[in-house]
Structure 1
């Protein structure tokens, strides 16, 4: 737990989309669980941002978090924790579930997906 008070802590991140906060939290959680070191993450993320030409002041929009997600997926694949074909299979399953769920209902993956 941090010894910082609300007055000494920096501002909490603000996310424009729920998935931005979710991928951020997942990355921090995986780091804290020891799956990778933060310097390794930041070096990879910097390379992804440079490859995408994202040199401007980033506001945390989709372009930033698309690069964040790409970096996380690549890192987990390299660590043998998330094979690209499995990630794509799950992404497609979530998309199908989302598209077939009535608006306002919770989205669920079918068993075995």
Structure 2
């Protein structure tokens, strides 16, 4: 699989990023989507990679202090939490909007049979 230059640049700028010889690796589709969202926001100038790395390191340290064993399987959970924090801090979306969206996804997941695509519908935001 060919990696894009921005993805490779991100992998090189973030030494803790799970990767192989070709670049970032993901265990689940949502991990790749979270990575892509951060990449897109970086490309739009929302944050620099050093700023991102510092915010992610803070998130991981906090999680470790709360008992995260840091076995590698929670890395993208921290990635997503960091993304949500920076989006709120930068004023792109409020914490309330982010929480409303998380709840909408939860509702959509609950009604979707296993193996089927999850589709958000207007009632999910009610």
Q: Which bin holds the TM-score, normalised by the shorter protein?
A: 0.7 to 0.9
Please tell me whether the aligned partners of residues 30 and 36 of structure 1 are also in contact (alpha carbons under 8 angstroms): yes
Gaps of 5+ in 2: 9-20
The aligned runs of 1:76-87 (5 Å cut-off) are: 76-87=87-98
Structure 1-normalised TM-score?
0.78
Structure 2 residue aligned with 1:110: 121
Structure of greater Rg: 1
Correspondence 1:99 to 2:110: yes
The aligned runs of 1:48-59 (5 Å cut-off) are: 48-53=59-64, 59=72
The structure whose residues are more often helix, as a share, is 2
Query: Cα distance, 1:55 vs. partner?
Result: 8.2
Gaps of 5+ in 1: 5-9
Q: Which has the higher contact order (CA 8 A, sep 6+)?
A: 1
Large movers: runs of 4+ above 4 Å: none
Kindly tell me the number of residue pairs found equivalent between the two proteins.
105
Structure 2-normalised TM-score?
0.71
Structure 2 residue aligned with 1:14: 25
CA distances 1:7-44 after superposition (whole Å, capped 9, x unpaired): xxx42222111111110111011101211111111111
CA root-mean-square deviation: 2.4
